[in-house]
Structure 1
């Protein structure tokens, strides 16, 4: 049994500090820069939006800047980390994070750009098989992307996009409803594309089962893993996922708007005839600089690259991946489960102490994030939290999203948050 489930928590600073002393990852807190409010490090709950800056990121960026200064164009081949294959240094580490072979991952562009590029290959509708299945109220960028894709192919989004809804009165999706809908659409289904972790309620979808059923009806299956990568266990290769894409600036701590990652299953690699928008950085390295007129795809996910990678963007990504490689996803997930359980305990304890009512809408299938309805409270409470050093996220009508990332959040942070939350409610 998970030790977290059998542990008796206490709502005290002393107990939280004891948990921190026993925490094998506590030393990694010193690897990150923290904003300060009122002269103190903040309690940072928005790693699901933008991760904190690793201190070592500056060194990695400075290396590129110095190589540019000292070598100029020659940095492509003669820098300590030559730019022409710089992105390849991320493949092994990312493979471990997402459960893929190194050749199945690449780094390029940004998330929605990459989803569009991947859909060139994996949304190939016919008059009969043209529908896309997604979750109800997917992240807006995904909604816009799907709508524009089906319209580009001449279909009406009302006919082509099938949204799986939550049941009336429920805050999360049921796997059986998704599976039933896939079976119902059947041979009309061209693509399943869902966010692996829902941005609003923090639910982790059963990607293995959904992928299996989607494939069984002849559809391609892809995942938007913006809120999943660096957060939960992923086994994209073993689950037989066709493709996936993710941003790197949330739990991966690569910096604002930085380069996205992609996954393409090895069974699709090396296919010269697969529909794909192509550019010269996707050609074989051996012939790339011969400037040949015909595209000769490299036999990895790099074949989906168009242009040479943005080195200044991926340098901090490489710095962060160095930390992930040192710690490993197993250790991060172990702490994640425990610290989120402690946060849930703190919320329930504070709920008992104040005349308010919290409703956690995140199901047990979750990663770092807890989404909480603050019934009877308004945005004034959120503003109070922010003024007092708790950096969290507000979603209308009255939901706060709390994401204690295990790399840099402490158990003492959870206790301190609880006390500030209580003060905010009692003083309102």
Structure 2
């Protein structure tokens, strides 16, 4: 498709957009009494309007039923999380028994490493990407220290090539092969938070398994954004948050994947609690732990129902639309945004550099050479909600559920005004 940097062209794209009606399913913040252009779905997704109804239902059941809501609410609380599994499986490419919802992301990654980072004196190293998301760095450092190793000895970072802003799959695989039988775990972000790059999760997982390592994925920026085939890729485990592209609300519950080959094992290393024991025996209060035959065996405590309610509301939207349709619009609207950026760059004789490679989801990270944070502030003051990352990068994520093509055009005009006024 040949794009045009005109309002009429953007309006025409919106008219043809089969997902355009879902924009009205979300609530937009306002700046100067006008709905914002929202580019931070990669940080916190907008609120689906139906979320309030789902939360209110829980509040009503709590008020009217008290503790009996666990069993007699319309959606009983004791198995509430199970309602999230079917739609999640379609999003992450897994069987229902391989997925559960519990805790929050960093907690779940720690719990999963109890099972899948079990180092020996010979095999103790972890491979991650250079400058991984800080929480991942802290987790890995604390995990290796807990097992008696030094971070500088145990953690191997795969670096980008000199002068490049992205990782090459062949470099990651070469590092896996180099570390070889010393490698205990590969744990990488499936989509890099900074540059928006989508890793070749299938190829990297395969390489890790060849050398005998466990392979896990932090899917915080991937779930609900890119196609995932966790079971087919043979990943050992994965975890993700739900508040970015999945629109479940700030700090909300995390999803977990554990490959079915690891299920129904009583001797696997694992921290355990009563919600992981067999459902039919949970309230018999037996002293012995008898694990669920699913990923639910990794659950420790009863689920936070008020948190899961808006997650379930959002997952209804994913069920209605499907990942194929979301990805199709994601590709087109992100390409249009890239076109707009390049057009504005030419018109104002500026020097933008898109550091996101073509292997991407719906995020474009833009290096503002010579512009500085003033442009970011101008955008924010004029109703464009975007994200600043040092050094001199703004992240733009046109989430396909609620961003429009007119948003992309209007953003370009505001960006142009900001540069010309500086």
User: What's the TM-score bracket when you normalise by the shorter of the two chains?
Assistant: over 0.9
Residue 355 (structure 1) aligns with? 349
**Structure 2 matches for 1:210-359, cutoff 5 A?**
210-359=204-353
Query: C-alpha separation between the residues in 1 aligned to 2:190 and 2:254?
Result: 16
Residue 5 (structure 2) aligns with? 11
Of 157, 162, 169, the residue aligned with 1:168 is 162
1:54 pairs with 2:25: no
Q: 1:160-215, CA deviations, whole angstroms, 9 ceiling, x for partnerless residues?
A: 00000000100000000000000000000000000000000000000000000000
1:83 pairs with 2:77: yes
Query: C-alpha separation between the residues in 2 aligned to 1:215 and 1:146?
Result: 20
**Structure 2 matches for 1:122-141, cutoff 5 A?**
122-141=116-135
SS at match of 1:192: strand
Q: CA RMSD, aligned part only?
A: 0.4
**Structure 2 matches for 1:160-199, cutoff 5 A?**
160-199=154-193
Query: C-alpha separation between the residues in 1 aligned to 2:399 and 2:324?
Result: 14
Q: 1:94-142, CA deviations, whole angstroms, 9 ceiling, x for partnerless residues?
A: 0000000111111100000000000000000000000000000000000
SS at match of 1:289: helix
Query: C-alpha separation between the residues in 2 aligned to 1:348 and 1:313?
Result: 41
Identify unmatched segments of 5+ residues in structure 1.
Answer: 1-6
1:418 pairs with 2:407: no
Q: Which TM-score applies when normalising by structure 1?
A: 0.98
Query: C-alpha separation between the residues in 2 aligned to 1:275 and 1:238?
Result: 24
Paired residues, number: 422
Q: CA deviation at 1:355?
A: 2.7
Identify unmatched segments of 5+ residues in structure 2.
Answer: none
Query: C-alpha separation between the residues in 2 aligned to 1:189 and 1:376?
Result: 42
SS at match of 1:372: strand
Q: Which TM-score applies when normalising by structure 2?
A: 1.00
Q: CA deviation at 1:396?
A: 1.1
Q: CA deviation at 1:40?
A: 1.1
**Structure 2 matches for 1:388-427, cutoff 5 A?**
388-427=382-421
Residue 29 (structure 2) aligns with? 35
Runs of 4+ residues over 4 Å off in structure 1: none
